[in-house]
Amino acid sequence: MKTVYTFGGAADHSDPRQKDKTVTGGKGANLAEMASIGLPVPPGFTITTEECVGYLERGEEFSDKLRGDVAEALGHIEATVGKVLGDKDNPLLVSVRSGARVSMPGMMDTVLNLGLNDETVAGLAATSGDERFAWDSYRRFIQMYSDVVLGLDHGLFEEALEIAKEDKGFYSDTELEAEDWRELVGEYKRIVAEELGRDFPQDVNEQLWGAIRAVFDSWDSDRAKVYRRLNDIPGDWGTAVNVQAMVFGNMGDTSATGVAFTRDPSTGERAYYGEYLINAQGEDVVAGIRTPQYLTKAARETAGATPLSMEEAMPDAYAELARVFDLLETHYRDMQDIEFTVERGTLWMLQTRSGKRTAKAALKMAVDMVGEGLISQEEAILRVDPMALDQLLHPMLDPDAERDVLTTGLPASPGAASGKIVLDADKAELWANGGEKVILVRVETSPEDIHGMHAATGILTARGGMTSHAAVVARGMGRPCVSGAAAVSIDREKRAVRIGERELVEGDVITLDGATGQVMAGKVATLEPELAGDFGTLMDWADAHRRMRVRTNAETPDDCRMARQFGAEGIGLCRTEHMFFDAARISAVREMILASDEKGRRAALDKLLPEQRADFREIFEVMAGLPCTIRLLDPPLHEFLPHGDEEFADLAEATGHSVDQLKRRAGELHEFNPMLGHRGCRLGITFPEIYEMQARAIFEAACEVTKSSGDAPVPEIMIPLVATKRELEILRALVDRVAGEVFGETGYQVEYLVGTMIELPRAALVAGEIAEEARFFSFGTNDLTQTTLGVSRDDAGRFLAPYVERGIFARDPFVSLDVEGVGQLVELAAERGRATCGDIKLGICGEHGGDPASIAFCEGVGLDYVSASPYRVPIARLASAQASLKAKS
Ligand code: ADP
Ligand code: MG
Ligand code: MG
């Protein structure tokens, strides 16, 4: 197996291993690729990643084969450029560059000008005819090599340079003459000898092998290890080493070095984008010592800058560069990020790779490239990261607006929101109903804050992480949220919020940026998302390529409307309990719960019926004939109970019960583990009148809408938390009976389905039996994850992060489906359900319905649809298109 691959000059680039990043690293593979299509690449060679792995395994020993192969490959460079490493008359200089499969901060920095010593420096001066250049290169080499390979502090060298300049009264490096650089080289060598106790290596072979060794060693540096851990990069990849003939951007005013993108990486605009510096080398452009200049005349003019652009200062080299840009884009069929050097008017390419880009740019480039015939629609769909769409869907803060940042918390749910501070959920709802925009500020949120969270335009909490109640609910609702802002403290007495040094009161306006976690004083201007244009185009393509339907989880007409704008094709989950929290209804709900007998309950339910009917009517109208899965009441009843004496007193007055009576009843409803308690279909079995009322409201609304609009709704009535066939049998009979009654009364009839949520392991196991009663299954993967793992989502905050960090869970199982465990249950239930009922409709309605990895899993299982919160609908559309395309290929 080859240990070294040569590139450039007359090298043979035909071995496919040379263009395989796993063998030659990203940089090496692309250098070979560029050379093979005839671009000007300085000749060089790449030592494989396999040699790095072997070297580390052997306890930092080079293989014998490598020593011979490197010597031979060096011969290739020498023959191509007609110079010899270490030759005192005609010396070759090389760079030594690390290059793993993916670009990796933490790896060894590049060493330039290797091969210089006290003798070759004179040769370089003679061959270049520029003594100043030769000594400048030598001092750069000593400084870089000492820092990167010998591990000396680069500050020592910078200090020496500063002192030299001061002595001579110079301001900038360009004022130093050959003699000055020569003196500085002497000083640098003295520093090395003093710090190291031995002289700077004069033997060029020692220099070369020292640098190669340093690149290999840097794979196991602490910095590299930390980076790998944070980015899930395996430790056994190793890095390649590239040794390449130097070309010089620091040979006077016809030489330059620069970095460029073939398109604008932040807007996606088809315009060359980049910077360059005349008479400079290597990293001078990014080092910030001198201010780089623009590449194009247009960019310079837009910026109002005076120093000439490359297009103006070096028109020939620029024209060549532009030609190369176009060749590279055609070849790679993607936007490229490029490094180049111009040596005395001649252009040399030093690096190319696919460029990083913003979501907006990714979208624009993908769509543009299809128009240009560069890529297919399928490729365009696969190019855009679905999660990145999130950045584009929410109103964004105007980047040009001033920000008075009060503190920064966790970026829990993206989007920007401004509004008045309110400290409790009821007030949030009250003010919002009065037309105010409010930000709900809480220490933490809990289920009884839902109505306030819904009413708010944004949510700020002092405590809680990225999977806290506030964060999860806010993401579900598409509300911007900043959680865990520790600098926030709330004074309920004074109705005030202290944020760091500043005190604000209820009613003061603040702004949240859920994408960064910033909390700002006052209102900051926002920009609305753009749903037409490139976004719309890519989404249309995605729709044409996906198999699964995409529905939404929504329970208010507003959310339904938004979801339809985002392309939802139905409702996958309408949670009816949210409708019960409405301020106007909660007292009827409480009256129902606290009633001591069925008669009392029915009286209260009669008050709720018209309200529920109106809810459903509005939703059916918005959904205009699309399927709507409505889940009957699910949470334990005590969630609706009053809190605090004030609320009990209010309720006592409203119902005519005494406060004591009410408290006693509340005590009776208390549960030790409500998640596994009296909830879901267990409510329907024990209090059938509740489900009867809900079913009646649904059918009456459906009939009304059929009558008035002609868009006949298709309600899919979902019974939650079913574990046995018998439960579903009883409740399905109830629903069918009510449907029959309503159809008889109204003279209208609608199509409907009764089905269940699969959210208990038992239900998944006996899905074949349950399917005898169900026309559809919807996988409620939030609860199915909780019940399968035995982990409560609301309490997992304390251990989930360390679990993920230590790799016990690959990812947060509430964010991305645990395919290995929970996934098996989904697969099994789908299979058994279909075996009983061939055309059973299958969908997913947990948070996972908006997660691309989980969506790919659903495609594999063959579900009919996924359902996601409104803002995730476009993500789900794109992700399911990608899953369909990948399944085909
Ligand atoms: P990084 O991975 O940090 O970008 P590189 O290996 O690309 O490191 O080197 C950084 C810079 O050094 C390059 O952009 C280029 O300007 C310069 N450089 C590297 N090799 C050479 C060379 N053979 N000739 C001239 N400049 C070089
Ligand atoms: Mg670098
Ligand atoms: Mg580079």
Res 654: pLDDT: 80
Choose one of 21, 97, 241 to mutate for the ligand 1 pocket test, by most ligand atoms within 8 angstroms of C-beta: 97
For 424-467, write each residue's pLDDT tens digit: 999 999 999 888 999 999 998 887 788 899 899 999 999 877 76
Contact 417, 524 (CB under 8 A): no
Question: Ligand 1 centre and the CA of 305: distance in Å?
Answer: 27
Q: For 657, list phi and psi in degrees, rounded to 5.
A: -85, 160
Q: CA nearest 411: which of 436, 390, 428?
A: 390
Token pair listed for 64: 């014998």
Alpha helix (H) residue ranges in 82-149: 120-128, 131-148
The yes-or-no verdict on residue 4 having pLDDT over 80 is yes
| Percentage, residues of the chain above pLDDT 70 | 99
Residue 468 has pLDDT above 80, yes or no: no
Cα Rg, the chain, nearest whole Å:
34
User: Rounded to whole angstroms, how far apart are CA atoms 888 and 856?
Assistant: 12
Q: Taking CB atoms and a 6 Å cutoff, what residues make up the pocket around ligand 1?
A: 42, 95, 97, 110, 112, 244-247, 257, 282-283, 339, 341, 350-351
Query: So what's the pLDDT on residue 73?
Result: 98
Gap between the Cα atoms of 867 and 874, Å rounded: 11
Residue ranges with strand state E in 43-82: 44-47
Report the pLDDT averaged over residues 394-418: 88
Q: Which amino acid is at 271?
A: A
Taking the C-alpha atoms of residue 725 and residue 781, their distance in angstroms, rounded to an integer, is: 20
Question: Per-residue pLDDT averaged across 240-264, rounded?
Answer: 95
Share of the chain above pLDDT 90, in %: 75
Eight-class DSSP state of 105: B
Select, from the ranges 374-378, 483-487, 524-528, the one with the highest average predicted confidence (pLDDT).
374-378
- pLDDT band (50, 70, 90) for residue 289: low
Ligand 1 atom closest to residue 248's alpha carbon, by position in its atom list: 25
Q: Which domains does the chain have, with CATH numbers?
A: 4-245 (3.30.1490.20), 256-357 (3.30.470.20), 394-527 (3.50.30.10)
* Rounded average pLDDT over 19-38: 97
Higher pLDDT, 211 or 580: 211
Mean pLDDT of 42-62: 97
C-alpha atoms less than 13 angstroms from C-alpha of 871 in its C-beta half-sphere: 21
Q: Which two tokens stand for residue 424?
A: 């409790």
Strand ranges in 484-623 using DSSP code E only, listed in sequence order: 488-491, 496-499, 502-505, 509-513, 518-521, 526-527, 549-553, 571-575
Residue with the smallest CA separation from ligand 1 atom 26 is 282
pLDDT at residue 54 tops 90 = yes
Three-class SS of residue 290?
A: coil
| Residue closest by Cα to atom 7 of ligand 1 | 351
- Amino acid sitting at position 287: A
Token pair of 353 as six digits: 């790779």
Name the token pair of 376: 């297919």
The residues pairing with 91 across neighbouring beta strands, listed in sequence order, are 84
Residue nearest to atom 9 of ligand 1 (CA): 110
Is 845 designated active site? yes
| Higher pLDDT among residues 682 and 528, named by residue | 682
Residue (of 591, 692, 740) closest to 651 by Cα position: 591
Each residue's pLDDT tens digit, 127-166: 999 999 999 999 999 999 999 999 999 899 999 999 999 9
Band of pLDDT at residue 288, cut at 50, 70 and 90: low
Q: Which residues contact 478 (CB under 8 A, 6 or more apart)?
A: 394, 413, 415, 559, 562, 869, 870, 871
Tens digits of residue pLDDT in 619-678: 999 999 999 999 999 999 888 888 888 888 888 888 788 899 888 888 888 899 999 999
Residues 192-200: contacts with CB within 8 Å, 24+ apart? 192/142, 192/146, 192/150, 192/152, 195/152, 195/156, 196/150, 196/152, 200/142, 200/145, 200/146
For atom 15 of ligand 1, which residue has the closest CA? 282
Rounded CA-CA distance 242/74 in Å is 11
Mean pLDDT, the chain, integer:
93
Q: What is the Cα 39 distance to its own chain's centre?
A: 35
pLDDT top residue among 770 and 173: 770
Amino acid 467: pLDDT: 66
Tell me the pLDDT tens digit for each residue of 302-349.
888 899 999 999 999 999 999 999 999 999 999 999 999 999 999 999
777: phi then psi, degrees, rounded to nearest 5: -120, 135
| pLDDT on residue 884 | 98
State in Å, rounded, how far the first CA of the chain is from the last one.
31
d(CA 46, CA 69): 11
pLDDT(473) > 90: no
Q: Which residues contact 394 (CB under 8 A, 6 or more apart)?
A: 414, 415, 416, 478, 480, 514, 515, 529, 871
Asked if pLDDT for residue 290 goes beyond 80, the answer is no
Identify whether 394 is a catalytic site residue.
Answer: no
Distance 321 CA to ligand 2 centre (A): 22
* Alpha helices (H) in 402-509, listed in sequence order: 425-433, 450-455, 469-477
CA 350 to centroid of ligand 1, rounded, Å: 6
Residue 889 has pLDDT above 80, yes or no: yes
Which ligand has an atom closest to residue 284 CA? 1
- Model pTM? 0.83
- The model's pLDDT over 189-204, given as tens digits with 9 standing for 90+, comes to 999 999 999 999 999 9
The confidence score (pLDDT) of residue 611 equals: 93
Work out the burial of residue 195: count CB atoms within 10 Å of its CB; fewer than 13 is exposed, 13-18 middle, 19 or more buried: middle
Q: What is the pLDDT of residue 287?
A: 63
Ligand 1 pocket check: which of 24, 223, 351, 352 to mutate, most ligand atoms within 8 Å of Cβ? 351
pLDDT at residue number 110: 92
Cα 260 from chain centroid?
25
Å from CA of 351 to ligand 3 middle: 6
Instruction: Say whether pLDDT at 832 is over 90.
Output: yes
